[in-house]
Structures are given as structure tokens and as C-alpha cells.
């Protein structure tokens, strides 16, 4: 979108600016839409989008926003847009304002170091993903036992032998009963 269609008079022209304008329009319309006719709500949304210079979203999206407004709920595009919109146009009800205030506090909170593993530890080799880790590497930090290639093969062989034995026992029992239905 260019500056003419996103309503910011050429200042930034970003999708974020457009989302903030859309969110402000949603806040304005939602404020007094509970229980109103859905078509009226959609018309008001379209008018507010046009007044703010943003392109109307696809019809299905507009239906979702209008349905939420019908129930007195404000559709949130994304939290950064909602926070910025709330700074310019107060959110339509106390529930949304509380949600946004909680989000503001969470954004300001700093987590202590060590909460998340180092990003270099997030990368897994294909072997770690498919084989459950390095054979014999199960230690105190490991989530559970790790099976290497030989252990997995042995486990599969035992399971196969047990299944074969069970089928053989069932076949012998069935043959002892003789033909049925004669």
C-alpha cells in the first residue's frame, strides 16, 4: 500500500501503520455495535476504513470482525497494533483494556538469564531429530533414554518375534477347533 491508501499521509507506509489504522477503526465501530444488525456493522466498518484511508479487508475477514462486534467483542489484529491503537483511541471496553494492559506489562518484563536455552542449542542435526540423540549420550539433562541403531533394531526384532509367536498360537488353536459351520 502507498501513503494515499493507508491513511498516514506519507509518513511510513508500512503494513504496521495500516494495521493500527484498521485496529482503530475496529475499536471505534465495536464500541456501540453489540446486538446491532451485522450488515449495518459491516457498512460502518467499511466507512470507518475508508475514512482512515485503509483498504477494506477481504469479505470473510470483515464477517469475522463484524461478528465479534455483534457480540461486543473487539477483534484484535495483533497485539502491537492493538497497543498502538489503544494509545490513540481507547479500546472499546474494559475487558480489552485489561488485556492490553496485561500485554504492556509482559512486554516490559525482563526474563532472568537462563530461562531459555542458548539459541545455538536450538539447532538439531538430522540424526538427533530422527534417532533421538547420540547413542549413549543420555545424561542428567537428557529428557529420557536414547536408543542407538543397534538397540532399536533389537527392539524391533523382539517385537516381530512376539507378534509371529502370537499369530502361530492363534493358528494352532483355530486348527484344533476344526472347520466351523459344517
140-160 pLDDT per residue, tens: 444 444 555 566 777 888 888
> For position 9, what pLDDT does the model report?
39
Query: What ranges in 52-148 are assigned the alpha helix state H?
Result: 59-70, 79-88, 94-108, 126-131
Spatial distance between the Cα atoms of 41 and 37, rounded to a whole number of angstroms: 6
111 φ, ψ (degrees, to nearest 5): -80, 145
CB-CB contact of 54 with 21 (8 Å) = yes
Closest CA to 81 of 16, 145, 14: 16
For the chain, the farthest-separated pair of C-alpha atoms sits apart, in whole angstroms, at 91
Model confidence over 92-114: pLDDT tens digits? 889 999 999 998 898 888 878 77
Model confidence over 37-95: pLDDT tens digits? 999 999 999 999 999 999 988 999 999 999 999 999 999 999 999 999 999 988 988 99
Assessment of whether the complete model's pTM goes beyond 0.85 = no
- Kindly state the average pLDDT of the residues 4-30: 72
Amino acid at each position: 500500500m502507498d501513503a494515499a491508501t493507508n491513511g498516514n499521509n506519507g509518513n511510513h507506509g508500512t503494513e504496521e501503520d495500516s494495521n493500527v489504522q484498521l485496529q482503530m477503526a475496529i475499536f471505534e465501530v465495536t464500541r456501540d455495535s453489540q446486538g446491532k444488525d451485522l450488515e449495518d456493522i459491516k457498512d460502518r466498518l467499511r466507512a470507518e476504513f475508508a475514512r482512515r484511508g485503509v483498504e477494506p479487508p477481504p469479505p470473510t475477514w470483515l464477517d469475522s470482525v463484524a461478528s465479534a462486534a455483534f457480540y461486543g467483542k473487539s477483534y484484535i489484529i495483533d497485539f502491537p497494533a492493538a497497543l498502538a491503537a489503544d494509545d490513540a483511541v481507547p479500546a472499546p471496553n474494559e475487558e480489552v483494556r485489561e488485556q492490553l494492559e496485561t500485554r504492556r506489562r509482559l512486554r516490559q518484563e525482563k526474563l532472568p538469564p537462563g530461562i531459555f536455552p542458548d539459541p545455538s542449542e536450538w539447532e538439531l542435526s538430522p540424526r538427533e531429530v530422527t534417532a533421538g540423540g547420540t547413542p549413549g549420550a543420555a545424561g542428567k539433562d537428557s529428557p529420557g533414554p536414547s536408543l542407538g541403531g543397534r538397540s532399536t533394531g533389537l527392539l524391533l526384532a523382539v517385537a516381530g518375534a512376539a507378534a509371529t509367536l502370537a499369530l502361530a498360537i492363534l493358528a494352532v488353536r483355530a486348527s484344533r477347533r476344526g472347520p466351523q459351520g459344517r
